[in-house]
Amino acid sequence: MSEENKDLGDKAEDAFDNAKEAAKDAAEDAKEAAGDFADEAKKTANEFAEGIKGAGGENKKILTGVLAIILGSLGVHKFMLGYNKEGFILLGVSIVAYVLSCVGIGLLFVWIPSVIGLVEGIIYLTKSDDEFYNTYQVGKKPWF
């Protein structure tokens, strides 16, 4: 019986060693798979970021240019680009000019924000996509 227990003990040790080796192999395989997955995820994220950069720049340029021409006096195009202070300035000047136009003195100032919006809209639409993106979205140039 002692020999039998010894054989069982040896078999148990061998099974344990085999299980240990299998676990190490599985862990190495899992690390390799995780590394491959991380590389693929980074590649996909970079492709997505490049795609968004290209698509967002042109769409934002056209939308902002058209809004500047149509609603330039209200500063909507400034809000689209993230220039809140400048947007509120145009909006405030427009509101004050419209209120003062009831008195007559505002008629001199009503056209100023509209001309600013028209000029900026034309400038936005005539720039190339990269130039627009670098100047107004990255460089944050608020006026003209």
pLDDT tens by residue, 44-62: 767 666 655 554 445 688 8
- Classify residue 144: in a domain, yes or no: no
Cα 85–chain centre separation: 21
Alpha carbons 53 and 44: distance in angstroms, whole number? 14
What pLDDT is attached to residue 46?
72
Range of the domain at 58: 2-138
- Classify residue 113: in a domain, yes or no: yes
Alpha carbons 134 and 142: distance in angstroms, whole number? 12
Alpha carbons 134 and 81: distance in angstroms, whole number? 12
What pLDDT is attached to residue 107?
76
- Cβ atoms of residues 121 and 77 within 8 Å: yes
Which span out of 16-20, 43-47, 48-52, 111-115 was modeled with the highest average pLDDT?
111-115
Q: Is the pTM of this model over 0.85?
A: no
